[in-house]
Amino acid sequence: MIPSKEEMEKSFAARHGAALQKKFSAACVAICGLGGLGSNIALSLARAGIGKLILIDYDRVDVTNLHRQQYKACQVGMFKTDALRENLLEIAPYLEYETHTVMITEDNILSLLENADIVCEAFDKAEAKAMLVNFVLEHYADKYLIAASGMAGIGSANMITTRKITDKFYLCGDGVSDVEKSNGLFSARVTVCAAHEALTVLRILAGEE
């Protein structure tokens, strides 16, 4: 028997207080990209009780994803949206998960992100990151935007920071470690960066930013 909705809400409140729980459950966060960054951000936010997550990715789970991403071996071949929703429902069954199995383009960005209070950029390609950030800053300047740049390699996690660039735009990462110029990606380091993004969401909602 899984815990009831009331039991879970009580447990969230026990862990971080009823006042914060109210803010977290009223929030809607969009996660653009469900890879090493996005799937980890989603897990963190679901565990914190964020009321609604908008999960966007066009891709399928690949065996190489298991190295960093919150998917299971039995899910290889599934769409990431479907697999992640499955996993999130097992962890936090009473939250709302809206999935979109699409590639984000300038044609669909506006409608996909319309209801989000906070947008988390979690792509892997630099050009896609720049596209999304520019678009959100230009057309949705009232939304909070958290992006990430630089988490590749096995350099120290101490190099990964969260910088407030402007009023509602935050950048996580070390800013320089490019996946194409490094010795690969490591789960622990990517997860540090994902945690920076997730924690920034919680801090914004808590009024700490």
Partner 1 sequence: MVKINGESSELAGVNLLDYLNSSGYNPKLIAVEINLEIVPKSAYSGTIFKDGDTVEIVNFVGGG
Compute the least distance from the CB of residue 197 to partner 1, in Å.
10
Should residue 160 be labelled a site residue for partner 1 when binding is judged by CB under 8 A? no
CB of 198 to partner 1, least distance (A): 13
Distance separating alpha carbons of residues 171 and 102, to the nearest angstrom: 24
Dihedral Cα 45, 47, 48, 50, nearest 10 deg: 50
H or E segment and range at residue 100 = strand 96-100
Residue 175 interacts with partner 1 (CB under 8 A): yes or no: yes
List Cβ<8 Å contacts ≥24 apart for 88-93.
Answer: 88/42, 88/43, 88/46, 88/53, 91/43, 91/46, 91/47, 92/8, 92/46, 92/47, 92/49, 93/2, 93/8
Minimum separation from the CB atom of position 181 to partner 1 (A): 8
By C-alpha distance, which of 100, 127, 84 is closest to 32?
Answer: 100
Contact with partner 1 (CB under 8 A): which of 11, 64, 134, 183? 134
| Residue 139 beta carbon to partner 1: minimum distance, rounded to whole angstroms | 9
List the interface residues with partner 1, window 22-81 (CB under 8 A): 33, 35-38
Pick between residue 54 and residue 95 the one whose CB is nearest to partner 1.
Answer: 54
Contact positions toward partner 1, by CB under 8 A?
A: 33, 35-38, 122-127, 129-130, 133-134, 137-138, 141, 147-152, 165-167, 169, 171, 175-180, 182, 185, 190, 193
